Chain A
């Protein structure tokens, strides 16, 4: 009698254990109801509807959310086919072709390999090299992603921790741009490379970077993975551009204010100074530092461009010959 009881208890415990990798969860996620698509919750019932959807999505996608250990660094990733292809951030997968550890939610470690990356927009891929039939999730149509939609972020904040399943956060998309999605799902180190989901449980972004406020959480959208797909799978470093200006941002400024000019750089030779605010770059109006780098990376080393800066209330036009980055 005692033995039977003990056995029954073990079965129950196993039933409650985290999903193992070889049991793909295939429960279909229902279409989001109006409670989920309206701008914000108006009642407890709306909140319950969102909660129910979140739980279904978490149960489905959690088994495919992995931790990645690349050398001494840790990040997250998401499996997107049964062969074990993983989307992650470019700064997590790093140098292509390296042997990496893939940590499944139940703590099991399998071997993998880093694939390609696009360092400028921070997209990256890896693949599980151990044999298996891996749980995976679908990618969303990038065009379906709009500001104002609910989203679910999952990952390993602080890196994979034994006994802790991937951590879920719920928020809204505040902005969608060509190369990034901004949400209020708070991220922190270790989340990098983890997945952002829409309310159908499809991946819409990969966690990339954060800013000082709780609302500055930036994800790489699916369209940029799709654009570079073949090259990333092949293990290429995409869009590697060694164009060099030699400036650093003044982090305290919202404008494109220069904090530091690298000695002997094209910027210094052209006469740019710390404190200059770039308002026009290569014919484009510039509001932020990111606007400027976007314009910069469209050029190649040796190109001659014009920069308009504001310096002590004066506007100056400066001609720069772009250089080649040395490593």
Chain B
């Protein structure tokens, strides 16, 4: 069992500001004056933000996809009950869930509406780490403000809602050692499934069935998806040689089943200071910021201070982090999500298919434009190369700077 270090300070501090005594302590990032400075940056994005309520209770925020009532939100925050959508203009209408993506925890809602303001998406990769990001409320106030802490990154699988671990969950019987890639076995438990299968200490597990094990975090996550009695195929590296080993999983010993509601030290620390989302794992791609969002404020846009919408908040994931699905991962999901899974009559199905086609066409248009730009860039580069080879390099192409400025994404031009 690895330990992640940070001590708890159980004692009161003498010099804390008085504001810290209140229930939600004020940080510099949520003082009224800071939020007032941020407000103009999110004015446009707020018009594409909606409040989603069920039976009069705020359950989530949402982001407008099309002017005629397609809206995305965080799926797992929706409970049973009539869904009402409230817009920036204080219009209210009812909506229904027409489709869901379990991995990203996104639900597509459709309501009868016109003239909504769809979100204008920007690529998250153009907003570098350290830039401010804000989350607008439906009234145009920033509800959370912080910095982008980590660019969009792939998380290890498996994806989707967390698996509940019971004694029926599969158990391999190994302990992991630190490693740079894959999952390196530190110790094999005596008489375990791992021992019977012939696994040894120092074996590096690279895959389980068809799931890549890119790092030691991915292994327990992946194994949690199998049941006692399942036979799995492990791809391992031993003494520099790759080999495959099959193992039949045991029942999980009762003492290794996490207690219901039980929290380890890391869970405890992560839940200190803010309320975490119920579903906060299993997303394939996330970007990370430190704005403190409430679970019921997920589903709305994440905006940089130039007003660019770079993703949709999907979870309050820990004491230091909120997660958003970056636009790069989100946009490809939308066309599929707009297909109405609840469509029953042929007329409804035709309408759903038409809507999906419209989005797919728009995406093709965007892709075509990118292709044209890339071709033009190549042409220009080839011309420059030809010119340089042909004659004296008086008009040589600019060389990349050596001061490191080519390493990160270019800063956004300031408007």
Contacts and interface: CB of A to CB of B under 8 A. Distances in A.
Interface of A: 5, 8, 15-17, 19, 23, 25, 27, 40-44, 46-48, 50-52, 54-55, 57-59, 69, 72-75, 89, 91-92, 101, 107-109, 122, 147, 150, 157-159, 161-165, 167-172, 174-175, 177, 182, 184, 186-193, 207-216, 218, 249, 251, 253-255, 287-291, 293
A55 B28 contact: no
Nearest to A169: B290
B131 interface: yes
Contact of B8 (A89, A209, A253): A209
A213 B15 contact: no
B7 A209 contact: yes
A255 B14 CA distance: 10
Contacts of A101: 178
22 contacts: A16-B409, A19-B407, A40-B31, A42-B37, A46-B37, A47-B38, A47-B305, A51-B130, A57-B130, A163-B154, A171-B27, A175-B13, A177-B15, A184-B29, A208-B6, A210-B6, A211-B9, A214-B273, A214-B292, A215-B25, A216-B273, A289-B12
A19 B131 CA distance: 19
Nearest to B10: A251
Contacts of B150: 164-165, 167
A41 B40 CA distance: 13
B326 interface: no
A294 B26 CA distance: 28
A54 B289 CA distance: 14
B4 A190 contact: yes
Q: Most chain-B CB neighbours within 10 Å: which of A40, A50, A92?
A: A40
Q: Give the top 4 A-B pairs by smallest Cβ distance, nearest first.
A: A175-B15, A184-B27, A189-B4, A214-B273
Contacts, number: 251
A288 B37 contact: no
Interface in B249-280: 265-266, 269-270, 272-274
Mostly, the B contact residues are: loop
Contact of A54 (B9, B16, B147, B269): B147
Given A157-B319, A188-B270, A288-B13, 7 more contacts: A16-B407, A59-B408, A162-B217, A190-B5, A211-B8, A215-B27, A289-B10
Interface of B: 1-17, 19-20, 25-29, 31, 33-34, 37-38, 40-41, 128-132, 146-147, 149-151, 153-154, 178, 180-181, 214-215, 217, 265-266, 269-270, 272-274, 288, 290, 292, 305, 318-321, 378, 381, 400, 403-404, 406-409, 411, 414
B290 A186 contact: yes
A211 B319 CA distance: 11
B217 A161 contact: yes
A288 B33 CA distance: 32
Contacts of B146: 169-170
A290 B146 CA distance: 31
Contact of A287 (B14, B38, B132, B318): B14
B28 A184 contact: yes
A57 B7 CA distance: 27
Contacts of B129: 55, 58, 165, 168
Contacts of B13: 175, 182, 211, 216, 218, 288, 290
A188 B33 contact: no
A88 B140 CA distance: 42
Contact of B1 (A72, A177, A213): A72
A25 B272 CA distance: 36
Contacts of B6: 75, 187-192, 207-210
Contacts of A47: 37-38, 41, 132, 305
A41 B34 contact: yes
Contact of A89 (B5, B270, B273, B406): B5
Contacts of B269: 188-189, 210
B23 to A, nearest CB: 9
A74 B6 CA distance: 9
Contacts of B270: 188-189
